[in-house]
A and B are shown apart, each in its own frame.
Chain A
Amino acid sequence: MVASMATWDIARFGSEVFRPSPRQADLMIVAGTLTKKMAPMVKRIYEQMPEPKWVIAYGACACSGGIFKTYSVVQGVDQILPVDFYVPGCPPKPEALLAALVKLQKKIEKESLADRKDLRIQSHLEREEESHG
């Protein structure tokens, strides 16, 4: 939230628009602890996003469960979704989020279809390999 405010203005990187609807989003930032109660909804939102889509795991809890090794916390978003960038910290500074966004933009410029982590592309590529190989 504070990354979009005046001091760290995220709009100068072209990321001004935070859309509440997953159907219009390219990037999902999972910030905060992911609990087992919330996990099915996060997965549903991810599947509602149209491709191409990327995921940033923001914060120690989203990366790996953080300090909460308990009965109700998923130990990292990557247990249920493919993650492109991990931003560690508790909480990470806004500059870290901006760094992750800039790196993501650079990665998108250079990546090929095989580097992409969205699941449908992966399974499509696997099927192609099987039919070719």
Chain B
Amino acid sequence: MVENNLAVKKLREKFSVSILEVKTFRDETTVLVAKKDILGICQFLSSDPDLQFNLLTDLCGVDFLPEKPRFEIVYHLCSLKNNQRLRIKTRVEENETMPSVESIWKVANWYEREVYDLFGIVFENHPDLRRILLWDGYQGHPLRKDYPTEGPDFDKPFVPEV
């Protein structure tokens, strides 16, 4: 059933070494790829005339502490021409950098800033990597699993710096 998916077939033809795993769950196809080829794969998926995954719906991170590699970056792609969705995942370790896909889909600019803000993953070749949801002097990356929900200083009264 999974092999009927044109995108998966083409990916397997072109990047057979980088495809680590293909899964289908509830009619959704997920492809786990190696980090070093993510830029090439995304470029191929967005520019190939049959596939045309031109809408990057979402780019987010997931923290799988204590597994190694710790973080997973998930790309949700959508092809407006074929009305098809695809999920690409890749794993990155804690102090490694990720290539940025901002050159392919401009919307990744803000999504990657958000992943950097909340997880601490640095993206190479990003034009403007700084915090987006929290303020500039903030210490820590809240969405990591070892960060408390209430924040590290929840029992101290809050004093804003004016």
Contacts and interface: CB of A to CB of B under 8 A. Distances in A.
Q: A contacts B directly in the complex (CB < 8 Å)?
A: yes
Interface of A: 36-37, 39-40, 43-44, 47, 69-72, 74-75, 79-80
A44 B160 CA distance: 10
B150 A39 contact: no
Interface string B12-40: 00000000000000000000000000000
Contacts, number: 38
Contacts of A71: 142, 147-152, 154
B157 interface: yes
Question: In the complex, which range does the number of interface residues on chain B fall in?
Answer: 10 to 19
Interface of B: 134-135, 142, 147-152, 154, 157-162
A47 B162 CA distance: 10
- SS class, residues of chain A in contact with chain B: loop
- SS class, residues of chain B in contact with chain A: loop
Nearest to B161: A40
Contact of A72 (B134, B148, B157): B134
B150 A40 contact: no
Contacts of B162: 40, 43-44, 47
20 contacts: A36-B135, A36-B160, A37-B135, A39-B158, A39-B160, A43-B160, A43-B162, A47-B162, A69-B154, A71-B142, A71-B147, A71-B148, A71-B150, A71-B151, A71-B152, A71-B154, A72-B134, A72-B151, A75-B158, A80-B160
Contacts of B149: 69-71
A72 B142 CA distance: 9
A70 B135 CA distance: 15
